[in-house]
Chain A
């Protein structure tokens, strides 16, 4: 009886997740092995044909590569901004409440709408970004930010970072404010400099939070459609296509549902491998660190 209590408590959420998320995943796996008609009718077993088609497609490899760049830069950029911001917001200063609200603001707008607003702001002729930059004299001609893939992709990465900051900062801020105050005081007494304090106290204590932020951000950014879709639809010349935008086109424009299902599974596989590797790395790192702590103690 005692044993079944925790299971009983878990079952409702498990059932829910199984039904709503598990079933579509199975459906997807099944679809990927089938020949699929334009409108999703399964017309026969295809074996690995869908996967073979994906692997023979140059656009897939280009998109995969770009997905890597996109994910890496957005996640790293987000962390690089969020960490100092979280440290500042954790400290006591005038207007901290206001600053916190402002940093969280991007969260209050749906990603799709944020992308729509940016697309509008980046409009070469009527956009207010060019207007602002011209007013303060940084540029003297309007710049068509989204006209070439190279500038468009950079802009999209920057917007990606901007919208990921609130979530990441919140997690890090949570970690920071949970930090034992006495550790710092001890360090102050020892005369540790700001940098030392950060490097040897803050950072190690923050590790679990940073890791969570990395894992979740990688998952979310890797799968994120709206920013790129709304701003450039993966163009110009497929130069900003990442896997999820490419997949969306395949599935809902070209009607290649079998191939799209195969890509979905590949994406799932990539994320799974990444997460397993990362979690393994992190926990090994913790094991290595553990004996040292004991020594100090």
Chain B
């Protein structure tokens, strides 16, 4: 009952593999790729094929892993002693990898010209204790997106401050079938949706002394503002059941006037809701300007036996034509200067809208146990949104818990 086809091809492959290894030593580089969209896998496979065509002695073995399970997979891989040679990771995990000696510093490999091809802002989050622990591979910044049709209908202008956003939302809430403000309250990046608010109120995730900034005046004010907007019906009902994707879907359907979002949404809107009349604007302010810069990192594992070959592939994959295809295909902001200078990224108002915030972009702090701290934050926010605790009590407790996790 076994599948004879499979067995025979496996045997055949084995035989061929032996022949091949007899002919010349083949180097295999294992590359774990995070799956951003259905385009990610095929894209990297193509780059790998091109590379092997140019370097027949090196084979790149691409493993595409869904984002949600990437950290689990890498943890298991490393714990089992079977780490890949290179991998895309969330930069927020980088410190854990670096402090455990899992990540290989890349300074020794990075030629000055190669290093100079990157945009400095995106290089910084990858520097730990003065060493480059990886290269930025994908980047995005966040901004506000408004549905101009709804704003026009309500007779209000898109806001630049939180007060204006609140006032405009009040007006919009009177319209039928639409909600003024899309608030995310479930799963990945629920905390980010709050940080946008926190930062623009002048607060921060960590205070200067490294303690949690969640019990600051700014944090309490921003949490109260979200809660008030929920209570007054200015958001969609029950935000704790809305993931990032759910909120964005409502926006595409024209049911939300205002959301906070990332550039990757634009290709989706163009394809699915081409008639949506939207505009990209900076986050509303209340004393401070901010956006959230998010990068992913291409990391090399210190256990790798084929670092030279892996690096050769990395340099190959960072050629402008590949970076351009990647950034355009996935809707990311460019991390290299040459691609950033391309027409599309300078003249397109959408991309420019997102890129505008980069000079004052905030990044997630590079600290240990970041996922756990984010989890505490998300839990507290959900309790506040649900009305289980007051913003003051909830955030104070959360700050204390985070300080404990941080060992402060």
Contact = CB atoms under 8 A, between A and B. Distances in A.
Interface of A: 37-41, 123-126, 142, 144-148, 232-233, 235-238, 249, 251-255, 257
Contacts of B78: 39-40
Given A125-B250, A236-B240, A237-B388, A37 B100 contact: yes
Nearest to A254: B372
B218 to A, nearest CB: 22
A118 B120 CA distance: 45
B361 interface: no
A156 to B, nearest CB: 14
B100 A39 contact: yes
B79 A144 contact: no
Given A124-B241, A144-B237, A147-B238, A235 B75 contact: no
B382 A253 contact: no
B369 interface: yes
A235 B186 contact: yes
Given A39-B78, A237-B386, A255 B96 contact: yes
Contacts of B250: 125
A147 B238 CA distance: 6
5 tightest A-B CB contacts, nearest first? A40-B79, A144-B238, A147-B238, A147-B241, A252-B72
B264 to A, nearest CB: 20
Given A39-B100, A235-B378, A253-B371, A144 B241 contact: yes
A232 B378 CA distance: 13
A255 B76 CA distance: 10
B161 interface: no
Of A38, A40, A125, A236, most buried by chain B (CB within 10 Å of CB) is: A236
B185 A39 contact: no
Contacts of A233: 187
27 contacts: A38-B75, A38-B99, A39-B97, A41-B100, A124-B242, A125-B246, A125-B250, A144-B241, A147-B238, A147-B240, A147-B241, A148-B238, A233-B187, A235-B186, A235-B382, A236-B240, A236-B386, A237-B240, A237-B382, A249-B375, A252-B71, A253-B71, A254-B369, A255-B75, A255-B96, A257-B75, A257-B79
Interface in B229-255: 236-242, 246, 249-250, 255
A262 B386 CA distance: 32
Interface SS of chain A: loop
A292 B242 CA distance: 60
Contacts of A238: 379
Interface string B315-352: 00000000000000000000000000000000000000
A277 to B, nearest CB: 34
Interface of B: 71-72, 75-76, 78-80, 96-97, 99-100, 102, 185-187, 236-242, 246, 249-250, 255, 369, 371-372, 375, 378-380, 382-383, 386, 388
A147 B237 CA distance: 9
A38 B100 contact: yes
Nearest to B79: A40
Contacts of B249: 126
B375 A39 contact: no
Contacts of A237: 240, 379-380, 382-383, 386, 388
A119 to B, nearest CB: 10
Given A37-B100, A144-B237, A252-B75, A236 B185 contact: yes
Nearest to A126: B249
A144 B80 CA distance: 41
Contacts of B242: 124
A283 to B, nearest CB: 40
B187 A254 contact: no
B200 to A, nearest CB: 25
Given A123-B246, A144-B238, A38 B96 contact: yes
Contacts of B240: 144, 147-148, 235-237
B75 A39 contact: yes
A200 to B, nearest CB: 47
A148 to B, nearest CB: 6
B375 A253 contact: yes
A233 B236 CA distance: 21
Contacts of B372: 253-254
B382 A236 contact: yes
A118 to B, nearest CB: 13
A249 B379 CA distance: 13
B252 to A, nearest CB: 11
Nearest to B385: A236
Contacts of B239: 147
A271 B372 CA distance: 28
A236 B386 CA distance: 9
Contacts of A37: 100
B246 A39 contact: no
A181 B75 CA distance: 57
B14 to A, nearest CB: 24
Contacts of A123: 246
Nearest to B81: A40
Given A38-B100, A40-B79, 7 more contacts: A39-B78, A125-B246, A142-B237, A148-B386, A237-B380, A237-B388, A257-B75
